[in-house]
Amino acid sequence: MTWSPEPDLGVWLLASLLGGLAGVDASSWPQAMVSRPLVAGTVGGALMGDPASGLLVGALLELLALRHHPFGAARYPDTGPAGIVAGAASAAAGGGVAALAASAAIGWLLGWIGARTVHLQRGLAGHLLADREGLAADPRGLERRQLLSVGLDVLRSSALTAAFLVPAVLAARLVPPAPAPGAAWLAAGGLVLAAGAGAGAGVGALAGVRRRWWLLAGGIAIGLAALTVTP
Amino acid sequence: MNPHRRDFVRALLRTFAAQGSWNYRSYTAGGLTYALLPLLRRIHAGDPVRLREALERHMRPFNAHPYLIPLAVGALARVERDREEGERIVRFRTALSSSLGALGDRLVWQAWRPFCLLMAVLGFNLGLGPWAAVVLFLIPYNAGHVALRIWGMRRGWSEGLRVGAVMSGEPVRRLARWLTAVDVVLMGAVAVTLAGRLAGAALPAWTGPAGGAAAALGGAAWPGIAGASAAALVVLAAVAAWIHP
């Protein structure tokens, strides 16, 4: 296995395994939030030798995902496998602004494809536990089905990562490492506005905050001040 | 019979997988029952009929915030141990379901998780290394997460039917409100610092933070439109990169 920007067989297998763990973490076990794009993106980037590029795309995906809360039966992007794949794609494509834009779009799309597979998996779990009286009489059977359902979620997430990793890396590598100024300007501008709009939408999704505008403006002022003093 | 300490430990560990069988029919009931089993086996030891009746009760639809499921497990085990009447347990369970969901969503998903995530992203934007940022998120977040589970199991068992008073406590609500307000401040700071980083060398230095600030203020005014627009802007940025005019 080589730790270079090439998705060789070893990296592909490791990414699939980590994608399985990241995917199952979101809901099934243990919900330690290694499934968040911030973490999964960094891990994906590290697989391709550049964790910082992975984290940057993860941070952008995080801002897009912050308004989607897992309340009740709500659907939300499955950010574990998506973060691994997006982080790996961004790092493998050089981590520039164009690679970042391409991998973020791939990650967001994959997040919603993943959400669809979560929906299917939950339907399957419903069938596994449908016989309430039968399972009440067979506690060991209930335990087996619970663990089977967790195992199916691992397989689902692994398969998703395995299926999309190589196509995503290839797609991200279609962008030039040093795009023409016009393309770079458009890509960077789009990402800047997306980050801001994502954060704003996240604020809108937070309930019960008084003086929201003052708090947001204060945060912006703090951020601007921090930028001026940070090298 | 009273459960042993190791039964509580096993039940607590099982709550980490409580949403493993989440489904649209019974929600998290399978996971709740799976976590309750070590305690119920001890409480109803030697009485398979009572055990089956208890399992049948707890397999009925139930939903709660996953980190507060230990509170439900502790409280439900307590009422089973106290030999409360079956219908009363079912009603208590129903009351727990809705209130644990609302409290956990408010405290964890809307307050604690964004707080830890945004602190980490802000740290990265201001120069923290990638692994340090990940650790800055995961360690404090999970310290709170695990502490909440342990607290929930203990309080649930000690309070039993009175656990409602714990959940309606003003300190918890005040903490959630305060954290959410801090989250809004952090959102603003993260929006401009991340935008500055994303602009990189492709745009004049001031345009990144300025664009991020303007988009954040606009996004907070029209969150529904902003959420969809953010995703669309990422796709447009990707298209611009791919076709590289």
pLDDT at residue B59, rounded to an integer: 96
Q: Is there a single domain that holds both residue A163 and residue A60? A: yes
Per-residue confidence (pLDDT) for residue A5, from 0 to 100:
60
Does A214 reach chain B within 8 Å, measured CB to CB? no
Query: CA A32 to CA B134: how far, in whole Å?
Result: 12
Q: Could you say which residues of chain A have pLDDT below 50?
A: 1-3
- The predicted model scores a pTM of 0.95
In tens digits, chain B (245 residues) has pLDDT values of 899 999 999 999 999 999 999 999 999 999 999 999 999 999 999 999 999 999 999 999 999 999 999 999 999 999 999 999 999 999 999 999 988 988 999 999 999 999 999 999 999 999 999 999 999 999 999 999 999 999 999 999 999 999 988 777 778 888 999 999 999 999 999 999 999 999 987 888 889 999 999 999 999 999 989 999 999 999 999 999 988 75
Query: Looking at the 3D structure of chain A, how many domains does it have?
Result: 2
**A window 136-165, beta carbon within 8 A of B:** 136-137, 139, 142-143, 145-147, 149-150, 153
Model pLDDT, residue A2: 39
Task: Name the token pair of A11.
Answer: 């990296």
Which domain range does residue A203 map to? Answer: 179-231
Q: Do A69 and A52 touch, CB atoms closer than 8 A?
A: no
Identify the pLDDT of residue A181. 87
Q: How do residues A25-46 score in pLDDT, each as one tens digit?
A: 999 999 999 999 999 999 999 9
Domain final position from A162, A178, A194: A178
Token pair 């697989």 is found at A47
C-beta of residue A201 within 8 angstroms of C-beta of residue B227: yes
Residue-level pLDDT at A27: 94
**Is A1 inside any structural domain?**
no
Which residues on chain B are in Cβ contact (under 8 Å) with A52?
129-130
The answer to whether residue B191 neighbours chain A at the CB level (below 8 Å) is: yes
Angle at CA of residue B78, ends B11 and B20, nearest 5°: 30
Indicate whether A163 and A214 sit together in one domain.
no
Pick among A121, A214, A220, A230 to test the B interface (most B CBs inside 10 A): A220
Does A91 lie in the same domain as A188?
Answer: no
Q: Do A150 and A195 have their domain in common?
A: no
| A202 and A222 part of one domain | yes
**What pLDDT, on the 0 to 100 scale, is given for residue A64?**
96
Q: Check residue B60 and report its DSSP letter.
A: S
ipTM of the complex in this document: 0.95
Q: Which of A178, A194, A215 is the last residue of a domain?
A: A178
User: Quick check: is A152 in a domain?
Assistant: yes
A138/A186 same-domain check: no
Tell me if B237 and A105 make a contact (CB, 8 A cut-off): yes
Name the DSSP letter for residue B20: G
- Residue A82 and residue A114 in one domain: yes
Residues A68 and A172 in one domain: yes
Coil, strand or helix: which one is B23?
strand
- The amino acid sitting at B133 is A
Q: Is A49 an 8 Å CB contact of chain B?
A: no
In a domain, A3, yes or no: no
Q: Give the residue from A178, A195, A216 where a domain finishes.
A: A178
My answer on whether A86 and A137 are in the same domain is yes
Of the candidates A31, A42, A139, the one whose C-alpha atom is nearest the C-alpha of residue A88 is: A42
Same domain membership, residue A161 and residue A58: yes
